[in-house]
Chain A
Amino acid sequence: MVSFDSTAYKAQLNVWGKDKDLVKKLKSIAEKLQRNPSSTAYASANLMSLYAVDPSWSASDLASHRLELAKVLRPIKKPIVKQGLEPVLEALGKTHFDNPSFWLNLDSLRQQEVAQTRKDFVKFLLADPSMAYSAISRKELYESFKAQGVPGAEFQSYEKELQNNGVNIFERKLADDAESFSIPGGVASSWKDARNRGVFNSIFDVLLLHVAQNERRQLSFYSNLAYGTTAITTDTIQKADQRATTASDSNEVQIAHKILAALKNEVKSNSELRLVVFKIFEEYVQKKLQRNELGAAVANDLVDLGINQADANILLSLLATTGSGQRINGLNRTVEHLQKGELGSAQQTFSSVDPNTAEPDEYARIEKILDTQIEKKKQLLEAYKTALGAKKLEEARQAIAGAQRLDTEDDSLRGKVEAIPPEPAGNLTVSISANSAVLNWAKSASSDISYTVVRKTGGASSSPVDGEVIAKNIGALTAEDKNPTIATTVFYTVFAERTGQFSEAASTKAEAYPQPANFTVQATSSTSIHAVWTVAVEASSTTVEVFDSRGNSIHQVTTSDSKLLLDSLITGEKYTVTLVANYVSSSGTVASAAIQASSVPREKSDPVTGVDYTINNSEIQLEWSSLPPGYSTEAWILPLHDNGMDFGDIVTAEQLTAAGGRRAALISQRESNGKTYYTMKAHRGILRVYPLVLVESGYLVGDYVSSGVIEPAKNVTVEYFNNIIKLAWEWTGDTRQMELAWLDSQGYSQRELVTLASYRRNGGAIIQGRNISNLTIAATTKVDGETIISAPASIPLKQDNKIEISYEQKIKSGGLFSKPSTSITARSFNGYQGSVPVSLCLSLNPYVPLDANSCLALDRFALDFSASDVATYSFEIPKTAIPKGTKQFWLVLFPQDPESVKIDQPHTSQLRG
């Protein structure tokens, strides 16, 4: 017998009756069961509890319980009974209710039902615009649950379902706290300054100044303030600030230092620091949203700044739902699809957006973008078809690849791209010699191409395996055949390949008729030259022709030999020998291209010796013993250091240039009395000059001279100190010493050699005394034991025509019956005889007066030097001039006319009273 407390059950009915949602649900179940008895809609309600059923009951227990229930329910008129429990009980009937397995299965069915309901609800929630950023505060979520009738016990399972769908559920506390929080003044102004200057991407760049750029990842400020798993705290500010003080000084570092100092002073806790960072990002996002930027784009910006996606979404969800940046979910997703190249999905998503609820401008804008993309894809497909028809394969490929980029989801496009073969190699050329045939072709517009080169006689290859493969799958745009067939026509064919697809053939025909090789012509005496060469074994003969210096042919012969001696020639005349190799081919005799070489019949020359030179500012004249007839010389200028060229060496122009050499600028050359006189332009600096003999194989090295014009001192500056003149200049070239010359105050000539070392030691050159004249400077240097000196350059000296006097002063303190006084003994310089108007000035300031304007003139008088170079003066200082209690005063003599008189002041101990 089952136990059923009907009184308690009736009391429970009162509780259930108040739950209008439950009444509605039961009513809905009853209707569904009535329409379809096999419906499992009943699983959405907890029938076991509603009908007080124990799942362990037998069929008879259940049957008796059903009857008992019906009895209890019948007299009750409440909607929960009349619209819910009774109709459902009836619809379940005996079949379900009395069946123990029905109740056993009900639980799992119910779980499924609840799960489905949850999923539906989550789907519904996700479609809400407020979920555009897949983030919602727990507070708002629970309010939504309540509004939608989700039972409180199921909040957590619903929350989990949302999280499984990628929704970030966060606490609002930080955002709420931030509402009443303001960024402290110093931080706000220094950050504003940094932002205006565009120095930092985000505040994290400042906080993490001490952290390497590549470690500033996964930045977060909402759930916690951190980078990666490392928390950012007030200690972090200290570390960053330490870095700011050690980093190389720059504007960025200075600005960071200011921000960090403000943070250190004004932010006292980690939670306050988190609020500061949050507020900074809040302002950043709000500004962007106010500029009508798309929320998704703003979130992407945050992620680009290194902020983790969750925090970016949280911030956007907070601001976009409360601020002006709200966007329709579907529009955002459409844009996202377009950005990912998912044209199909974008179309589908856009079609699901209700234009009546979407922001009209935004809807129109995105619709236009979508239409443009669709049109663009269409045009690209058209272009592909046209190009393919015209066999413009690369163009077709570019078009279809472009369409593929627009719509990555369209699988048919991928197949089309792969099916297009590469274009054949363009501009194929071949250059052929006895030992090599070199093929070149143009670069393909496509980068993923390799090439196979095939050689064949009798006709072009039709496929990459038709003929002898010269190169296979090469990326280069050139190939070499090292065994070309001589005197036979061969075909070279190039096939381009991309992922197994070969292009059409590109072929060229080549016939190898190599020139003679190893060709030299040398003088064997003052009237003969000897030519030697080799030809390919396939050559039948060689045609030799000799020309004189005017281009007249003086000899021609066809020979099977490989050498020729020519004599009875004119000494010193230049002869040019031309060779052509002859081949017999199927089309007759074919001549190779010509090759030529020259020589001058002459005796063997020795290198130039006994070189001497004279120099003036603009020219150098070299002289040496004349060479045998038929030789010419060329002067080359090389640096002073060892260049590896020894007497008797033969060098080429390239070697000379590589050694830093250059041809001298020849002005004139003449022969006289067995001597060659060679005049060339003088060069700056001391360098080696080599007169080189031109021989067949290059230049014959002989003696050289070191010469040139030494660089004078540059940027000479003169500084006048009280008792000395200091000279400074820029040292140039190889100059290591300078010669200074001047006339001293007595008119005696003085000279001083200043080495670079002494210049550095003394910080310039020092000349004692100031009354000097005719100062000159000349650079000197010693090369190969010889001293070379530049022309002395005059150094202008300041014309100081001022009358110069000095003085000594004794100040006496006043006594009870005497006034303070001063006595001055002045001395004139340079024999000045006359009077000098001066002022005796008094200053009560703590600091010595630097000119007459900063003190009071007590007396104006003239120092008289007419009879002697010493003048004296005494003065009683009125007591009224120095107030009582004055601890110190200054008495200084200044000229009345500073433009014409200079007074050297004594030590300040004589000026202080």
Chain B
Amino acid sequence: MFNLFSKKEVPCPFCYQTIGLAKVAFRCNGRGVPGRPACQKTADPALVANFNNSKPYYPVIGTQEGGAPLLTKESASCTQCGSNSNIRLCPTCHSQLPLSFNADSPMFGLVGVRNSGKTVLLSVMHKELKDSVGRRFNSSIDNPGGSEGLARELQENEEAMLTAGRLPEQTRVRSGKQAPAVYEWRYTKSNGKLTSSIFSFYDNAGETVSRVDSAMDQAYLAASSGVILLLDPFSFPSNKERGQEINALPVGVDSPESVLDAITHALSHGKNLKRGKKIDVPIAVVVTKIDAFFSEMADNNPIFTIPAHQPVYDDLDGQTVHDYVASLIDSWGGSASIRKLNETFSNYRFFAVSALGEQPEYGTDRLGKGGVRSLRVTDPILWLMAERGFINKVGK
């Protein structure tokens, strides 16, 4: 049935530009019809410009003679070779839209200042999503269209951490965009119906969010349906000195408040928020590198509870961890950040995660001898997915 209230426009999961789902571009499938020569693969200028991807692809239908892409809904006939194609593309960046991509596909932004552990966390999260989360929810979580761009980088990072025992290199600001890591989460509901969701992450270099003007440039924040904000525990006033002693905190790292200001500014502008209104985008505030503080926490601190491997999000556990993390942040002199969150966001939750399980050697970027032993890294994404109703929530 036609849904009068369904959104017709949605951000592209790759370039975050708004696209109308009834007017998408199509890539020729290269088959051709008898009597007409098949199209040849060449580099797609839009992919080159957007993601430095110069691999050869069949042409975008309508662009062969220098024209604009032919925009339609279900399929299109190639104006050159005559083949009928249903390979949907974003009209702006020409990335292939996953089959299950629809107006409800969420976009999650991952932001954090330089050195807050974004790349490490994303790399471990990439592994956990495909592996343990997939098993826990009896789902298939994959990168549609194969590993490209960030997804490939995360895969390589995972390899580097698992086999070579070293941390990924620090992310650099890119001149062109990098294709984000797009995930397709599919599972069969109890009624036997297949359901799926597309979500994507973008790994930005930390310095671009630490200043308001740069954060504004991040189109993906404006398009995001949820934000994962990473805070470096060493950037809180009481922990700074300790962070510098062990080389975990470079000089000049922005305070959590300034990062919050930047994100708030970017989100309120991106979402055209009216004055006095709180931002309703769910924000998962994640304290990373919590392993550095294990020794100061009681054995039975709820943060150490390994969530049950059930295909649900345990909101009671989540709320408890939220309360304990808030208390930790307060003890580190970060109550100003909490107040700022209270005043600005209508739906936020604290998380504490450890991507590696123990502190790496910060000087040499080597992992601990025991390898990667993550703790609660997927809690934030599961909460966001639960907030959207894609996975079930218990304990509310």
The interface of chain A, by Cβ under 8 A from chain B, is: 242, 245-249, 251, 254, 257-258, 714-715, 717, 719-724, 726, 728-731, 759-764, 766, 800, 845-851, 902-905, 907-909, 912
Contact = CB atoms under 8 A, between A and B. Distances in A.
Interface string B163-197: 00000001011000000000000000000000000
B37 interface: no
Interface of B: 114-115, 131-132, 162, 170, 172-173, 205, 207-208, 250-252, 294, 298-300, 302, 304-306, 316-317, 319-320, 322-324, 326-328, 330-331, 335, 338, 357-358, 368-374, 395
Contact of A763 (B302, B331, B369, B372): B372
A724 B114 CA distance: 34
A904 B300 contact: yes
B306 A723 contact: yes
8 contacts: A721-B305, A722-B300, A761-B132, A763-B372, A850-B328, A851-B298, A905-B302, A907-B320
Contacts of A903: 300
A722 B306 contact: yes
Nearest to B251: A254
Contacts of A242: 173
Nearest to B300: A904
Contact of B207 (A245, A719, A764, A849): A245
Contacts of B369: 714-715, 728-730
B353 to A, nearest CB: 12
Contact of B172 (A248, A251, A720): A248
A717 B370 contact: yes
B122 to A, nearest CB: 16
B320 A909 contact: yes
Contacts of B132: 761-762
Contacts of B327: 847-850
Contact of B302 (A245, A722, A761): A722
A714 B368 CA distance: 12
Given A722-B305, A724-B306, A760 B326 contact: no
Contacts of B317: 907
A245 B173 contact: yes
B380 to A, nearest CB: 17
Contact of B170 (A248, A715, A761, A763): A248
A71 to B, nearest CB: 89
Given A728-B373, A902-B300, A847 B326 contact: yes
A904 B301 CA distance: 8
A724 B300 CA distance: 11
A95 B372 CA distance: 112
A908 B324 contact: yes
Contact of A846 (B326, B331, B357): B326
| Centre residue among B304, B338, B370 by max chain A CB count within 10 A | B370
A249 B170 contact: yes
Given A722-B306, A849-B327, A905-B302, A729 B316 contact: no
Given A246-B172, A248-B172, A728 B324 contact: no
Contacts of A850: 298, 324, 327-328, 331
A902 B251 contact: no
Nearest to A802: B299
Contacts of B114: 249
Contacts of A731: 371
Contacts of B319: 907-909
Given A246-B172, A248-B172, A909-B319, A254 B370 contact: no
B357 to A, nearest CB: 6
Given A246-B172, A728-B358, A800-B299, 14 more contacts: A254-B251, A717-B370, A721-B306, A722-B299, A726-B373, A763-B357, A763-B372, A763-B374, A764-B371, A764-B373, A845-B330, A846-B338, A905-B302, A907-B320
A337 B105 CA distance: 78
A115 B60 CA distance: 77
B370 A729 contact: yes
Given A249-B170, A902-B300, A907-B320, A764 B252 contact: no
Nearest to B307: A723
A248 B358 CA distance: 25
Given A254-B252, A726-B373, A847-B327, A246 B173 contact: yes
A443 to B, nearest CB: 43
A754 to B, nearest CB: 12
Nearest to A721: B304
Contacts of A246: 172-173, 205
